[in-house]
Amino acid sequence: MAPTREVAVVSYASWSSPAELQRNEVEMLMPVVAEAVADSGLPREEIGFTVSGSCDYLIGAPFSFVSALDAVGAWPPIRESHVEMDAAWALYEAWIQIQKGSVDSALVYGFGKASSGDPSEIFTLQLDPYTVGPLWPDTISVAALQARAWMDRTGGSEQDLVEVGARSLRNWAWANGVDLEPDAVDVLLAQPTIASPLRPGDIAPDTDGCAAIVLAADDLARELAARRDLRPAWITGIDHRIEPQALGLRDLSLSTSTTLAALTAGLADGPVDVAELHTQFSHEEHILREALGLEDGTNVNPSGGPLQANPPMTAGLMRIGEAAARVMDGEAGRAVAHATSGPCLQQNLVCVLEGEDA
């Protein structure tokens, strides 16, 4: 037994802002879902399955996904589910439902507003509530432990970290047509650390945003993409793995779960033109490059990545969308997207996308 259906990303839309103070989640989500659905070429009511990812705690209420359903227009009633995870895992669930054969297409969306609270404090509540959480280590300090572990093992320097942030900024500027100061690395390195060795340029900014993807299977995907003169971004492999959370139970300088997921996803079966990595801190790119076995020729985070825009519960799905977009427009033949959840890369998803039929 093995999954047999060919599944592809056929449309992707996203939106983000440092702080969206005018609109609530539903208002923020509605145009993005509408865009992804319209671009897919599938009428909304013909999409077989809908699934989303979000986190209640961001708005401090018990059911943030409930009202988000208003952005979809769930009438007549729809087949629908929700994961309390980054929406990259919602996409995995959609892929499973399509593999099961009960539906041929799916709408996946994720949303999160960092501006509703303090994410660094909120995500501290992910830690073991009996032993670690009561100490209130904020997420940046916890990540700094990992950065230090990576530097200690590899001899990497703070400049190696900052260079990741500087390149992310350059890529973002290039992708968005913005002129940049030439000495960005020096500027970033001159900033004081927030939690040593991490400086502001090493840390993903608080962001509000959302993203939506439409998946389709087999000939439906071919037909939908052909209508727009694009090629489908075929998901040739997808897997995700988790590690123990306790920081003392794993080697923080490695990401073994990423390596395991990449193995099942068949990442090593071919060259990788583009990698979109869910790097919320600069050191994570170094750890993930190693865990994924990426060669120097791979273009990492051409979009700028999460270090420029990191909406919670959404930035992972955005990686799949950005990687798929590079494949769909022909810029990349083969791309990998990575999503993460939990402190210090605890849980990781790897998705391989290819332009030619699998």
Partner 1 sequence: MSGERVAVVGVGQTEHRAVRTDVSMVGLIREAAKRALADADMTWTDIDAVVIGKAPDMFEGVVMPELFLADALGAAGKPMLRVHTAGSVGGSTAIVAAGLVQSGVHERVLTVAFEKQSESDAMWALTVPTPFQAPLVAGAGGYFAPIIRAYMQRADAPDDIGMMVAVKDRLNAIRNPYAHLKLPDIDMKTVEESPMLWEPLRYLETCPSSDGACAMVLASERVADAAAKPPAWVQGTAWRSEPTLFARRDQVNPQAGRDCAADVYQQAGITNPRADFDCAEVYVPFSWYEPMWLENLGFAEPGDGWKLTQSGATAFDGDIPWNPSGGVLSSNPIGASGMLRFAEAANQVRGAAGEHQVEGARRALGHAYGGGSQFFAMWVVGADKP
Q: Residues interacting with partner 1, by CB under 8 A?
A: 1-4, 24, 26, 50, 55-57, 59-63, 65-67, 69-70, 73-85, 89, 92-93, 96-97, 99-102, 122-123, 125-130, 133, 239-246, 249, 256-257, 260, 341-343, 346-347
Least distance in angstroms from the C-beta of 7 to partner 1: 11
Q: Which amino acid is at 73?
A: G
- Looking at the Cβ atoms of 40 and 347, the one nearer to partner 1 is 347
- Looking at the Cβ atoms of 43 and 62, the one nearer to partner 1 is 62
Distance CA 350, CA 343 (A): 17
Distance CA 89, CA 94 (A): 9
Least distance in angstroms from the C-beta of 130 to partner 1: 6
- Looking at the Cβ atoms of 79 and 170, the one nearer to partner 1 is 79
Give the burial class of 277: count Cβ atoms within 10 A of its Cβ; 0-12 exposed, 13-18 middle, 19 or more buried: buried
Least distance in angstroms from the C-beta of 34 to partner 1: 16
Going by C-beta distance under 8 Å and a sequence separation of 6 or more, which residues neighbour residue 223?
Answer: none
Please answer whether residues 322 and 253 qualify as being in contact, where contact means their C-beta atoms are separated by less than 8 angstroms: no
Calculate ∠ Cα 311-315-319, nearest 5°: 155
- Looking at the Cβ atoms of 39 and 80, the one nearer to partner 1 is 80
Q: How far, rounded to the nearest angstrom, does the alpha carbon of residue 228 sit from its chain's CA centroid?
A: 25
DSSP label at residue 181: -
Beta strands 274-276 and 334-341 are: parallel
- Looking at the Cβ atoms of 259 and 308, the one nearer to partner 1 is 259
Beta strands 7-17 and 80-83 are: unpaired
Q: Report the length, in residues, of the chain.
A: 358
Please answer whether residues 36 and 13 qualify as being in contact, where contact means their C-beta atoms are separated by less than 8 angstroms: yes
- Looking at the Cβ atoms of 188 and 252, the one nearer to partner 1 is 252
Query: In this structure, what token pair is assigned to residue 344?
Result: 């210090």
- Looking at the Cβ atoms of 2 and 135, the one nearer to partner 1 is 2
- Looking at the Cβ atoms of 86 and 322, the one nearer to partner 1 is 86
Least distance in angstroms from the C-beta of 83 to partner 1: 6
- Residue 76 phi, psi dihedral angles, 5° rounding: -55, 165
Distance CA 281, CA 120 (A): 13
Distance CA 28, CA 26 (A): 5
